[in-house]
Structure 1
Amino acid sequence: MSAPVLEPVSVAEPRRPAGRAAEGRRTTPARFDTALGWSDRPGVSWVLRIVLCVIALAIFAAPFVTIFAGALSRNPSGSSLSFLPHHPTLLNVKVAGERGIWDYFANSLVIAGGGLLLQLAVSVLAAYALARHRFRGQALVLTLFMLTMMLPEEVIAIPLSLVLGHVPVVGLDLKGTVWAVILPLGAWGFSIMLLTEFMKDIPAEIEEAARIDGVGEFRLLWQIILPLCRPALGVAGVLGFIMIWDQYLLPLIAAKDPTDYTVTVALSILRTDPQVGSGVVLAGAVVALLPSLIVYLLLQRSLVTGIAAGATKG
């Protein structure tokens, strides 16, 4: 007697509701949690959050608005704040250009661009050596990098001026050239420490698998390590550019002629010039402010992502 054949039982899929009801069930409204809470309906927390945002915006935006308003005013007052230009004009920008502000601006762009590229290259190579390799004296090297962050510029100004005037071994005089400003900025302890700590958290298994596949040292750094360090590179790039752009003492001691100055040094010259008013100085300040503001606005996502990634590690 043959056994009965059991046919497979098919389980019917549940019917999905159609129309707007289906869309409402499939989608769940996202909730954005903040320290003050979140609610679509007006309430005490909603009003308090709006008030705090307005206060923060007024505190941080008021200086920028005042500078722009003064730069476009014919006769700005230095004793009172104004958020709107009085008798709007571009005469202050024109006078600042006649005083050579655009030449100083070009010097700053060359120095900031070259210095940032050199700084990132040195920081990446130094951080890769400190984070992914072990060698004698590694702790001493890290300590030296930290010490460079603790020394103020005023302490090393005179020795640095002597070195730039007569570079040891080669005997070159770099004063009056852009290299006198770019080379001292090539190594920044902050970016080296930042990238070092970020590279230490990359799993060693990734590097071991790449070496088994025959990946060389440079290719490993370029194609594997660096893409994983994009958040840290964004932070180092933004802060490094602002640090180089805001340099004042180094361009001052590295210059041989006033034409070698950067825009930050030019602002002090405009300020002491009795033939120009405060409106011209504010116009020069706007010119000096724009690159840092543009770089921050373009790379703010990378900056926030890098800071958040560093805060959540461990």
Structure 2
Amino acid sequence: MSAPVIEPVRAREPKTPAARPGTAQRTTPARFDTALGWSDKPGLSWALRVLLCATALAIFAAPFLTIFSGAFSTNPSGSSLSFLPHHPTLLNIKVAGERGIWDYFTNSLVIAGGGLLLQLVVSVLAAYALARHRFRGQALVLTLFMLTMMLPEEVIAIPLSLVLGHVPVVGLDLKGTVWAVILPLGAWGFSIMLLTEFMKDIPTEIEEAARIDGVGEFRLLWQVILPLCKPALGVAGVLGFIMIWDQYLLPLIAAKDPTDYTVTVALSILRSDPQVGSGVVLAGAVIALIPSLVVYLLLQRSLVTGIAAGATKG
């Protein structure tokens, strides 16, 4: 007599209601995947969020729209808010060009490009030394970098003017050259501190593995450390460019002749010129605004990634 065969017990599958013929099941989530948690159904909270977003957009976008509108208007009025130009014209741009705005714009591009390149090189080297090495007096160096961030430009304006007029040891007079503006901007405490804190979080195992493979110091920095610091470099690049581009006092004290001015100083000259109207000043402001917008649009992903990476550390 053979033993009875016992079949294994199978788990019952949950019954799902059958879809009606000719209808598709809904796959859209009940809420959008956003930080605000927007609902896909109009309601009181949905209307409130739309109102808040529209208010914020109006507050931040209204000045930009007013500048662009006035720059291309024939007779812009400073007492009224207008988002569309009245009698559109390019005369304001032409007059600003005749006043030398493009020469000042070129000076600003040269200074911003050279200053940013020097600033990033100095910041990377200083941050690498502070983050990946230990030496005597390291805390003092960090404190000095922080102190430079606390001093306003007006405090060091006169001493800096004297130094630029007669550089110690070498005795050079840098006034009237682009180096008088580029060199003081070569070291910025904010970018050094930012890159230092970012490099500190890179695991030491990566560095040790590279050293075992015979990687040298500069190759380690270039091929291992810097690729991991791209978000921080993006933040330092955007903020550093805007900081250099917006300089007003330093180009003013470093110039010997009005032709050495940058576009930010040129705007104050246009504003004080009684022969030009407000439309020419607004046209110069639009010209001065373009590089900052271009740099931000090109590096906005790195900027957001770097800020998010810094906010989620620890």
TM above 0.5:
yes
Q: How does 1:4-19 map to 2 (within 5 A)?
A: none
Alignment of 1:77 with 2:77, yes or no, is: yes
Alpha-carbon RMSD across the aligned residues, in angstroms, is 2.2
Who is 2:33 aligned against? Answer: 32
Q: How does 1:86-235 map to 2 (within 5 A)?
A: 86-235=86-235
Give the drift of 1:47.
Answer: 1.3
Whether contact under 8 Å (2:32, 2:40) holds in the other structure is: no
Who is 1:300 aligned against? Answer: 300
Who is 1:5 aligned against? Answer: none
Alignment of 1:257 with 2:234, yes or no, is: no
TM-score, normalising length from structure 1? 0.90
Letter in 2 for 1:273: D
- How many angstroms apart in 2 are the aligned matches of 1:206 and 1:231? 18
Deviates more, 1:231-240 or 1:44-53: 44-53
- Among the aligned pairs, what percent are the same residue? 90
Letter in 2 for 1:266: A
Q: Deviations over 1:126-177 (max 9, x none)?
A: 0000000000000000000000000000000000000000000011110000
- How many angstroms apart in 2 are the aligned matches of 1:102 and 1:33? 43
Q: Deviations over 1:168-217 (max 9, x none)?
A: 00111100000000000000000000000000000111101110111110
Alignment of 1:269 with 2:286, yes or no, is: no
Whether contact under 8 Å (2:132, 2:200) holds in the other structure is: yes
SS at match of 1:115: helix
Runs of 4+ in 1 over 2 A off after TM superposition: 27-31
TM-score, normalising length from structure 2? 0.90
- How many angstroms apart in 2 are the aligned matches of 1:164 and 1:151? 18
- How many angstroms apart in 2 are the aligned matches of 1:87 and 1:182? 41
- How many angstroms apart in 2 are the aligned matches of 1:31 and 1:220? 43
Give the drift of 1:78.
Answer: 1.5
- How many angstroms apart in 2 are the aligned matches of 1:163 and 1:238? 29
Give the drift of 1:48.
Answer: 1.5
Who is 1:61 aligned against? Answer: 61
Deviates more, 1:230-239 or 1:294-303: 294-303
Residues 194/40 of structure 1: CA separation in 2 closer, same or farther (3 Å cut)? same
Residues 24/240 of structure 1: CA separation in 2 closer, same or farther (3 Å cut)? farther
Give the drift of 1:38.
Answer: 2.3
Who is 2:5 aligned against? Answer: none
- How many angstroms apart in 2 are the aligned matches of 1:247 and 1:270? 17
Who is 1:43 aligned against? Answer: 43
Give the drift of 1:31.
Answer: 4.7
Letter in 1 for 2:236: A
Give the drift of 1:28.
Answer: 7.9
Letter in 2 for 1:34: A
Letter in 2 for 1:113: G
- How many angstroms apart in 1 are the aligned matches of 2:212 and 2:28? 46
Letter in 2 for 1:296: Y
Give the drift of 1:33.
Answer: 4.0
Aligned length: 296
Give the drift of 1:34.
Answer: 2.4
SS at match of 1:135: coil
Q: Deviations over 1:72-129 (max 9, x none)?
A: 1111111221111111111000000000000000000000000000000000000000
- How many angstroms apart in 1 are the aligned matches of 2:35 and 2:117? 38
- How many angstroms apart in 2 are the aligned matches of 1:24 and 1:246? 56
